Structure formats: structure tokens, C-alpha cells
Structure 1
Amino acid sequence: MDKRFWVGGYSPDGGGTSLGIRAIGIRNGVLNDLGLAHAADSPSWLATHPKLPVLYAALEHRGEVAAYSIIGRDRLEPLGRPVPAGDLVCHLAVAAAAGALVASCYGDGKVLAYPINLDGSLAEPSTAPASVDPFAVPGHERRASRSHQSTVLRSGRVITTDLGHDSVRIWDLVDGELQLRQQVALRKGDGPRHLVEHPSGLIYVVTEHSAEVIALGADAAGDYREVSRSALGESIRAGEHFPAEISLDLPTNRLYIGVRGARVMAVLGLNAGRPVFLGSAPCAGEWPRHHVHVGNSLLVANQLSNTIEAIGLDSADGLPSRRLSSLALESPTCIAAQVTN
């Protein structure tokens, strides 16, 4: 049986050529374009509800979040009107247990919590407290807050990255509102972008500006602190290469990071929780903005070369080793697995 995915991308309002959200499938390593599921303006990030046949899209350059009913396996229909968000909304995460959708906005730094109605449609959001730059100096120019990702932890708390303020924030989601529990300041200039949580409780943060992976661990009180940081290999240079997505392949206990500018996927093993660089290999395209795991392979959204690549992983070291198939797709930025309810 084939596996199916939704793909978002940048349309002309975001400098790309995508027409909207597409459906794709893969069977035995071969990718297939299943057509345009629905037209949309720069649906740069997608999130699927885990229980309802609903897909959410961040319409980045419109500053809106849209909900769609999933019709069959390759078509979408609007579920209500798009709801306003902040400037350059770039990421969405479904907090199903709390009945909310969390949105991160790169342009103005806002983090928003949208109540999810019973049918999956969205109500008006509440706005989380604004980030305070831990490195602010009185009398100096303020740095812009750049919210980039939100993730629901196994505890039910929400964790968000602020690329502009070099910090990670942990929230409690109570009655539809985000209440700040802790702010973890990293190093000035790190630029935390995306993160994943390991079943051990460790959190791995990839930084866009310093090009590293930072491990965060919690103490007995549940407060997080930095416990290690690891480079992505000697060939990855901060300021020249820009890490994007980070993923965890749990069966092999490895981290995978797409590095824009370097045209590679970097692979790190976990040694007693500490990431250790194992190697990198080409991603078969330009600007690997996002990727997902499909068995012993990766699907990579190469934004600037306009392709989705299916790449097999070496069974011994986990490095991308063979190109299984390629699918031409305009300006892809996000791949979201279809959920079988």
C-alpha cells in the first residue's frame, strides 16, 4: 500500500511558483504527484489533526491560518474562513489534548493559540506574552523577536523557539491560553530554529545561525538547561550554511538535519544522549527546507530546485546513499503525512 502526504510551498506572493497544497504518494520508493488538493497562497507549513479529517495551513505571506476538511485522500475543502495570525506565520502544531492549534510567527514574534472547535474549525486566537530578549542591553537597538516553531511535549506542555532572541520558551496551555513556565537563554547568535523531543526527555535544538545541535535536559523540578552542543561536521560553516529541519529516527536513535546552502543531510548518532556527528551526504537538490522519514528512506523538500526527493538510507551508518525517485514540485517547503483515522 502506498503512503500519502500533503505538500505545502511558496506561491508567487512568497517568491515561489506553488499553486497551493498538493497530494503526493510513494510506493516502493517511487513518488507520484496526485494533483492539486486545493489552491492556496504560500501554505508554507502544514499540520494534520491526529483525530479529525482536518488539515491546517500557515498562509505565511497573508498572515492567516486556514483549516481544510480532508475529502477522500487527495482533495481538500475550506473549513470556515481563514483566521488572522501574526506577520509571516511560519509554523503550526496541533495540541489535540488541549483542543488548540499553536502558531508561530516569524515576522513579529507572536505565538498564538487557536481553540479548535468540535468540527476542527478554528476560533479566534489568544496571544501569548511577547518574548523578552535575554541579551537586551539598555540604550542599544532592540533585536526583533522571531518565533519559528512550536512543539507539544510528551508532558503536554508546549515548547517554542525564538530565532531572533536566541531562546527557547516552555509553556503550560491552560483554558486555551499559553502561560509561560520557563525561558531558556542559549548563546547570543545561536538562532534556534526547530527541535525534537527524545523519549528520554532530552530535547534537541538545531540552530540556524551557529549551525549546531544543542541538547536540553530537565532537572527534578522540570526546568530545562543546556547539557551539550555538537557541530554538524567540519564542512558546515556558520553564516554560510543554514540548518533547517531536524528529525529523530527513533529505531536507529539518529538525528537528521537538512542543511541549506550545503545541499546535504547531516546525520548524528546519540551517545548517552549526546549527539555525535556521523557524516553527511547530498540531498539531491538545492535548499533542503524540510524532510520526513518513510521507513528506511527520507523524503526531502528541496525548495529551490523544485523537487521532492526519495532517498534511501544506508543500513549500516544511516547516511543517505541512493536516490530512489524524484518528483518535480514547485517551491516545496513542508511535507505532512496523511493521517489514517
Structure 2
Amino acid sequence: MGKRFWVGGYSPDGGGTSLGIRAIEISRGLLTDLGLAHAADSPSWLATHPKLPVLYAALEHRGEIAAYRIMDKDKLESLGKPVAAGPMVCHLAVAGAGTVLIASCYGDGRVLAYPINADGSLAKPTIAPASTDPFASPGHHPRASRAHQGTALRSGKIVTTDLGHDSLRMWDLVGGELRLHRQVALRKGDGPRHLVEHPSGLIYVVTEHSAQVIALAVNAAGEWQEVSRDSLGDGILAGEHFPAEISLDRHTNKLYVGVRGARAISVLELKGGRPVVLGAVPCAGEWPRHHLQVGNSLLVANQLSNTIEVLGLGPEDGLPLKHLNSLALDSPTCIVAQMPS
């Protein structure tokens, strides 16, 4: 038996051709399309519950979140009606040991916390305090807040990125609500998109606008500070290429970053915690919006070339140089394992 995944994508309301959430399987490096699991409008981001057979989807251009009961390897059933979120809800993360769903909205910067009921359905959310632009100044036009990702850290805190305000916000999850602990400003114009936490406690943030990876650590005073800032390769240029997903290798010694516009996956080795570029490797498609490591392979969702690609990782350097398989799939934007790891 192979490993199975749910795939979200953009439908016509988001400029794509996807019909909804699909199920796929990989076995011995070969991908199989298991069919349409449930029709949906631009389910651009997906998240599974860690304990319940429930899948959540951000219906980005409807500004709603849908919950589905997992019926089989290739079938989903609606778990109630979609619930309201905010404009361009683009990311979901289950936190609090499965008790809360965190939603990030690119359209207005809104971050919401939905209590999760016993059956996996969503209760009425609380809205976190709005972001304050750390670079705001009198006489200048205010910049829009653009929430893009929420992540549960090992400490139990939640961190959210704000691509528009060039900052991260750390939150305490108290009674299912988000309470602001600290805001961490990066540099103006960075555009932090997604991040990943290393077992060492370091956080690696990929920036969409400056096209870099920033490492953050907690100093002796308990404050988060930038400890390194590195490019994604000589050919990756800010303003021309747009980093998307960042992930940590299963051996925790490398980072993989999909770079839209460059048709590439950048690979960075962690040396003393600092990312050092090993290379930017072709992703066998166009607009690598998301990727996921599966054993010694990398699955890449190439949104604009309408494929999921399987790239074999080198046993020594981890570079995804071997093209193993390709599966035609409309406008894929997110891949999530059916069984949480």
C-alpha cells in the first residue's frame, strides 16, 4: 500500500481549473490520481485534524472554511456548512492538541481562532487583535496587513506571519483565544510568508519580497532576534522570483524552499544553524506553490503547469535532482498527508 494525500487547488473563482479536493497516492515513486474527493471552490490550503478523521479547507476566494469528514481514502463528506472567515483566507493550522483551528487571511490581515467541537466541526471564532505596522510613520499612506501563516511552536505558543507589515507575532493560546505575547519586526520590505521551527528552537522564515531565509533565535533576555539572513541562490532575485513554501528535511539538517518564477527548489544546508545554499534545482514545472517530503522524495505542486512532480532526493546532498514521476492535476496549491505524522 502506498501513501495517500489530499490535494487542494484553485478553481475558476481563483483563476484556476481545479474542481475541488482530490485524493492521490504514491507507491514506489509513482503517483496515482484517486479522483475528486469533494467539490469545493478554491480550497487553496488544507489541514488535517491530528486525532479525528476530519479535513479542513480554506476556501480562499469565498472567505470561508469548510470542514469535511474523511469517509475513505478517496471520499470526503461535508461536516456542516462552511463557516465565515475573512477575505482571502489562505492558511489553516490545527493547534492546542486539536482543540483550535487558526486561520490567516491575506485580504485584511485577520487572524482567527476557531474552537473545534468534539466531532471536528467549528464553533464561532474569536478574532485576534489587528496587526500594527511597526514601520508606520506620520504622513505616509498606511500599509495593509497581510496575514499569511499560523504555526504552533513546540512551546505551545502560536506564531503568525504578516507579509504586509513585515513582522511576526507571537501569541499565547488561552482558553481557545489568541493573546498577543510579542511582535517581532523584520526589515521593511521583507514580506515574511511562511516559516518552520527547528528542533533546536530556531525559526526559519522565508520572505516573499526580499527572497531570503531569515533565522531567528531567542536571546538571553527572552527576546526573538535575527541571527542570520541568507539568499536562496545566485539566480534567485528579489522582485522577480517569489519564494512560497519552506520545509525542514526529515533529518533536520536542510531546508527546502519552492521559488515561484524561478521554476526551482532551493536547498540550504544548516551549518551551525545557519542556512548555506547548496543549489537551486529545477522543479520540473511552473510556479511551485507547495511541496512535501515523502521519504527520499519531494512532491511538488506546480500550480501553473498543472502537475504534481516527484523528485528523488540525493542520498548524500539531499538535492532533488532525479525526476521520478509526474501526475497531471489542475492548479494544485497544497498537498497534505491523509494520515498525520
Q: TM-score range by the shorter chain?
A: over 0.9
Moved more, 220-229 or 327-336: 220-229
Change beyond 3 A, Cα 1:82–1:322: same
Asked if 1 retains the 8 angstrom alpha-carbon contact of 2:49 and 2:98, the reply is no
**RMSD, aligned α-carbons:** 1.1
Question: Partners in 1 of 2:140 and 2:280 — Cα distance?
Answer: 40
TM-score of the two chains, using structure 2 as the length reference: 0.98
Inter-partner Cα distance in structure 1 for 2:133 and 2:252: 37
**TM score, norm. by length of structure 1:** 0.98
2:304 is the alignment partner of 1:309: no
Deviation track 1:122-141 (CA, whole Å, cap 9, x = no partner) reads: 01110000000000011210
Matched, 1:34 2:34: yes
- 2:96–2:173 Cα contact (<8 Å) kept: no
- Unaligned ranges ≥5, structure 2: none
**Separation of aligned partners in 2, 1:117 and 1:87:** 24
Name the counterpart of 1:85. 85
> Are the structure 2 counterparts of residues 24 and 111 from structure 1 closer, same or farther at C-alpha, using a change threshold of 3 Å?
same
The residue that corresponds to 1:215 in the other structure is: 215
Given that residues 11 and 41 in structure 2 are in contact (C-alpha distance below 8 angstroms), is that contact kept between their aligned partners in structure 1?
Answer: yes
Which residue does the alignment assign to 1:289?
A: 289
Counterpart of 1:110 in structure 2 is: 110
Matches of residues 260-299 of structure 1 in structure 2 within 5 Å?
Answer: 260-299=260-299
Q: Tell me which amino acid in the other structure corresponds to 1:279.
A: G
SS at match of 2:289: strand
Counterpart of 1:122 in structure 2 is 122
The CA deviation string for residues 211-256 of structure 1, in whole angstroms up to 9 with x for no partner, is 0000010134543111111111110000000000000003151000
* Partner Cα separation in structure 2 for residue 96 and residue 18 of structure 1: 32
Shift of 1:101: 0.1
Matches within 5 A, 1:180-195: 180-195=180-195
> In the TM superposition, what whole-angstrom CA distance separates every residue of 1:290-311 from its partner, at most 9, and x where no partner exists?
0000001100000000000011
One-letter amino acid matched to 1:281: V
Match of 1:231 in 2: 231
Aligned-pair distance for 1:320? 1.0
Match for 1:333: what amino acid?
Answer: T
Q: Does the 8 Å CA contact 2:170/2:181 hold for their aligned counterparts?
A: yes
In the aligned structure 2, how far is the partner of 1:223 from the partner of 1:119?
A: 38
Q: CA offsets per residue over residues 39-86 of structure 1, 9 Å max, x none?
A: 000000000001000000000000000100000111000101111001
| SS of the residue 2:321 aligns to | strand
1:314-333 superposed matches below 5 A: 314-333=314-333
Aligned to 1:250: 250
SS in 2 for 1:320: coil
Q: Are 1:166 and 1:192, in contact at CA under 8 Å, matched by a contact in 2?
A: yes
**8 Å Cα contact 1:265/1:282 also seen in 2:** yes
Q: Which aligned pairs between 1:52-71 and structure 2 lie closer than 5 A?
A: 52-71=52-71
**Where does 1:39-54 land on structure 2 (aligned, <5 Å)?**
39-54=39-54
Q: CA deviation at 1:98?
A: 6.2
Q: How many residues align?
A: 341
Q: In structure 1, what is the Cα distance between the partners aligned to 2:308 and 2:138?
A: 46
Equivalent AA in structure 2 for residue 306 of structure 1 = N
The equivalent of 1:16 in structure 2 is 16
Alpha-carbon spacing, 1:298–1:220, altered in 2? closer, same or farther (3 Å):
same
Q: Would the aligned equivalents of 2:50 and 2:98 in 1 still touch at CA under 8 Å?
A: no
Q: Is the 8 A contact 1:103 1:150 kept in 2?
A: yes
Deviation at 1:314, TM superposition (A): 1.2
Over 2 Å off, 4+ runs: 219-223
Give the partner amino acid of 1:84: A
CA distance in 2, matches of 1:205, 1:330: 29
Answer yes or no: is the 8 Å Cα contact 1:98–1:173 preserved in 2.
no
The residue type equivalent to 2:92 in the other structure is L
